[in-house]
Amino acid sequence: MEPLLPVGKKAGRPRTWTRRQLIDGIRWRTRAGTPWRDVLERYGPWDRIYDLFRRWQRDGTWKRILEQLQLQADAQGLITWDVSVDSTGCRAHQHAAGRSRGGLTTKIHLATEQGQKPLSLLVTAGHRHDSPQFQPVLERIRVPRAGLGRPRSKPVRVRADKAYGSRANRFYLRRRRIGCTIPEKADQVRNRKKLGSRGGRPPVFDKEDYKERHAVECGINRLKVRHEVAHVKWESHEGRRDVLTPD
């Protein structure tokens, strides 16, 4: 990871705490989900650890690291480009994005490839519906290519549950020539049959292929193993959750 990290602009006095210690403190805090002040002393002063985390968030260092890891994975053929989309709700602090019927929550919308690698992540208020976030979360997929060329952003196939099966979402996928495996809602089936021949053909749906949607559910579980993601709170008011991804 060292080649991806910022280089200091000028020499100064020797560091009391090495960069490795501070980064390990960030990793520990992300796993444990504790307040910054409770980070173990062996990693360095908590405020130094926080300052490094915040500075790299502001200058895009965390984003660049993720992009380079995605580039390497894609170059090695480790990204399948069969993408699954789903969401999960998280209990949140008073500064979180919004409320739901269950109280103050934040919702994470995630797109993963078949190997459970996160390709994009979107955070919304807990009361926001899943379907309107389908296109934004797919639009966030941008994996850099080795050498010249635009980042790759188009999956081969998208799998999602019936919550994402709106007409607008299906049209979006057809327009981009992306295959999909999304079941119809019961009311959609009923309305289509009610119209007879004018209702059109039912969308193609492969039950066996739909079973592969487990990738995004496993990806969500990997995220929520991190206490920081399972209980979104301390950073929610400044939008810093996007950098908290699995190792």
The residue written with tokens 């999909």 in the block is: 180
- pLDDT of 91 higher than 80: no
pLDDT 10s digits, 1-55: 777 777 766 666 667 788 899 999 999 988 887 889 999 999 999 999 999 999 9
- pLDDT of 238 higher than 50: no
pLDDT value at position 185?
87
pLDDT value at position 138?
96
- pLDDT of 164 higher than 70: yes
Average pLDDT rounded to a whole number, residues 183-201: 83
Average pLDDT rounded to a whole number, residues 84-93: 80
Q: How far apart are CA 176 and CA 66, in angstroms?
A: 25
pLDDT value at position 228?
53
Average pLDDT rounded to a whole number, residues 224-238: 51
β-strand 118-125 against 179-181: which pairing, if any? unpaired
Domains and CATH numbers, the chain: 1-59 (no CATH), 80-243 (3.30.420)
pLDDT value at position 162?
93
Q: Which of 41-50, 161-170, 190-199, 229-238 has the lowest mean pLDDT?
A: 229-238
The pTM assigned to this predicted structure is: 0.77
- pLDDT of 179 higher than 90: yes
The residue written with tokens 């989309």 in the block is: 85
Bridge partners (DSSP) of residue 180 are: 158
Provide the token pair at 72. Answer: 């390497």
pLDDT value at position 103?
53
